[in-house]
Amino acid sequence: MERRVQISEETKKAMLKLQQNEITEHAIYMNLAKRVKKETDRELLERIGREEKMHSKIWESYTNKKLKPQKPKVYFYYLLSILLGYTFVIKIMEKGEVVSQQKYQLLREEVPEAKKVYEDEQRHEYALIELLDEDRLQYVGSMVLGLNDALVELTGTLAGLSFALQNNKLVALSGLITGISATLSMASSEYLSARSEGSANAKKSAFYTGVMYIIAVILLVLPYIIFPSHKYIPALVAMLITVVIIIFAFTYYVSVAKDLPFKKRFLEMATISLSVAALSFIVGVLVKEFLGIDL
């Protein structure tokens, strides 16, 4: 229904942006709902998607323009949901909507419905999002356990071996053997621990712990495989940079998906891993010196 209301060009531009966001997010929510197996989560996503379309229709009644979803954005978020889960994608979208608050403030004076739409976004949709119960997020504890242990243990091992062996191929070989053995050990320990606590999902806990551990092993050993054998210092530096990147990426993921503080967790994990690496490097130097080993 076309509105016979006089609105400024600035307000119309703001409404067009909001309309585009709403219709695009409607498509994203409905697209995500198609691949969600859990019925309650699927229904929630469809419900939020319908509300986004309703909001888009409100803006359309003022702009008198029919907009289509931005397909690249829809496909991007769909692929991101496959990699990182739909909860992460929705929380990222939710954070993006905070920027829209300023636009709503401008619209309130000229558009009566702006207040209702804003309240829907702030209260109703956010409340529905909090009800989402994605399977993988139930195992964040296992993922953190696997990643933390891998980063601390393997960072220290590789740093110590770097100076002790001074040969990237030997360091990579030792790191892979240690890492694979530790992966199996950590996964089995997590399984037994979960079973002893009466968990019905002990296998999944062990799986997530093991997967995170082996991913960390591969990424940390990779610089020693890529660099020439004698370039152990550049390989060590690249490995430490990789550690920081992994910690940053995973901490950001958990902080967004679980609504946890980012900075404190990131600094804590990075400090522990890099401190262990520094101490292990010193141990490697001392062991090589005192034992008189020259490779």
What is the four-CA torsion angle of 252, 254, 256, 259, rounded to 10 degrees?
A: -130
Average pLDDT over the chain reads 79
Q: Do 167 and 256 fall into the same domain?
A: yes
For 262, how many CA atoms within 13 A lie in the half-sphere containing its CB?
11
Residues 164 and 181 in one domain: yes
Looking up tokens 């409607």, which residue turns up?
A: 26
Q: What angle do CA 192, 193, 199 make, to 5 degrees?
A: 95
Computed over its alpha carbons, how large is the radius of gyration of the chain? 25
> What CA–CA distance (Å, rounded) separates 22 from 56?
5
Please give the share of the chain, as a percent, with pLDDT higher than 70.
78
Question: What is residue 291's predicted lDDT score, i.e. its pLDDT?
Answer: 64
| pLDDT tens digits, one per residue of 93-104 | 776 665 456 566
DSSP letters, 38-77, are SHHHHHHHHHHHHHHHHHHHHHHHHH-------HHHHHHH
Helical axes 202-226 vs 232-257, angle rounded to 10°: 150
Question: Is 4 within a domain?
Answer: no
Q: Which residues contact 45 (CB under 8 A, 6 or more apart)?
A: 29, 30, 32, 33, 36, 86, 90, 132
C-beta neighbour count of 77 within 10 angstroms: 21
pLDDT higher than threshold 60 for residue 2:
no
CA distance linking residue 237 with residue 246, whole number of Å? 14
Given a contact cutoff of 8 angstroms between Cβ atoms, the answer to whether 234 and 253 are in contact is: no
Q: Are residues 166 and 236 in the same domain?
A: yes
* Domain identity same for 45 and 83: yes
C-alpha–C-alpha distance, residues 162 and 224, integer Å = 9
What tokens were used for 81? 């949901």
Q: Which of 81, 114, 133 is where one domain is finished?
A: 133
Question: For the chain, how many structural domains are there in total?
Answer: 2
Q: Which three-class secondary structure state does DSSP give residue 3?
A: coil
Q: Of 118, 133, 148, which residue sits at a domain end?
A: 133
Question: Per-residue pLDDT averaged across 125-150, rounded?
Answer: 68
Q: Under 8 Å CB-to-CB from 150, ≥6 apart: which residues?
A: 179, 182, 183, 186, 212, 213, 216, 217, 220
Containing structural domain, residue 81: 9-133
295 Cβ neighbours under 8 A, 6+ residues apart: 165, 166, 167, 170
Q: Which residues of 146-156 are buried (b: 16+ CB within 10 A; e: fewer)?
A: bbbbbbbbbbb
> Are residues 119 and 153 located together in one domain of the fold?
no
* pLDDT band, residue 6 (cuts 50/70/90): low
Distance of CA 61 to the CA centre of its chain: 37
Q: Which residue has the higher pLDDT, 260 or 1?
A: 260
What would the two tokens of residue 21 be? 């966001």
pLDDT digits (tens, 9 = 90+) for 168-222: 999 999 989 988 888 888 888 878 877 887 776 788 888 888 888 888 899 999 9
The residue type at 126: Y
Do the beta carbons of residue 254 and residue 136 sit within 8 Å? Answer: no
The one-character DSSP state at 125 is I
Boundary of a domain, candidates 110, 133, 156: 133
Amino acid at site 106: L
What pLDDT sits at residue 139? 67
- Whether residues 25 and 49 share a domain: the answer is yes
Residue 122 pLDDT level (bands cut at 50, 70, 90): low
Same domain as 17, residue 95: yes
**Tens of pLDDT along 17-33?**
888 988 998 999 898 88
